[in-house]
């Protein structure tokens, strides 16, 4: 089973929902079990009801769409590669600067990003929320 399921339950992060549970249950995320740092980007499209996930570490990336517990992997990336790089370096100041400059009231997505790290055999979770820009 995917290690991060335990992390999320252990720390009581409340955003876990049935779509993420479905994604975990596929066991398609086992490649991340030994990751020291993992990023989880989450977005929900209110119009279509699709939940988007992009999960990556320094080696692997998995993209998925979940609609009514049906999972589609290898979906198109919903975020620009340059923004993924900013997230991977945890450059929050630059992300918020670009968000302030380019995001609009009609930006289609609000993103939640979790950075999960193993430090001294403990899990540290940082969160970031921003609007699409």
Q: Which residues of the chain have pLDDT under 70?
A: 1-30, 74-75, 107
Record the pTM: 0.74
Assigned token pair, 31: 């490649």
The DSSP letter of residue 60 is -
| Residues paired with residue 114 on neighbouring β-strands, in sequence order | 40, 127
Kindly list the domain boundaries of the chain, sorted by start residue: 3-131
For residue 45, how many other CB atoms are within 10 A of its CB?
A: 14
Tell me the CB-side half-sphere exposure of residue 79, using CA atoms within 13 A: 32
pLDDT score for 86: 94
């Amino acid at each position: 089973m995917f290690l991060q399921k335990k992390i999320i339950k252990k720390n009581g992060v409340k955003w876990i929902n049935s779509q993420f549970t479905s994604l975990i249950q596929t066991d398609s995320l086992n490649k991340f079990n030994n990751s020291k740092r993992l990023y989880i980007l989450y977005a929900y499209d209110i119009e279509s009801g699709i939940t988007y996930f992009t999960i990556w570490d320094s080696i692997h990336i998995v993209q998925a769409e979940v609609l009514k517990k049906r999972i589609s992997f290898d979906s198109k990336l919903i975020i620009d590669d340059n923004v993924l790089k900013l997230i991977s370096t945890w450059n929050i100041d630059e992300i918020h600067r670009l968000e302030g400059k380019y995001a609009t009231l009609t930006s289609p997505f609000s993103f939640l990003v979790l950075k999960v790290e193993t430090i001294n055999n403990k899990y540290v979770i940082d969160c970031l929320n921003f609007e699409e820009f």
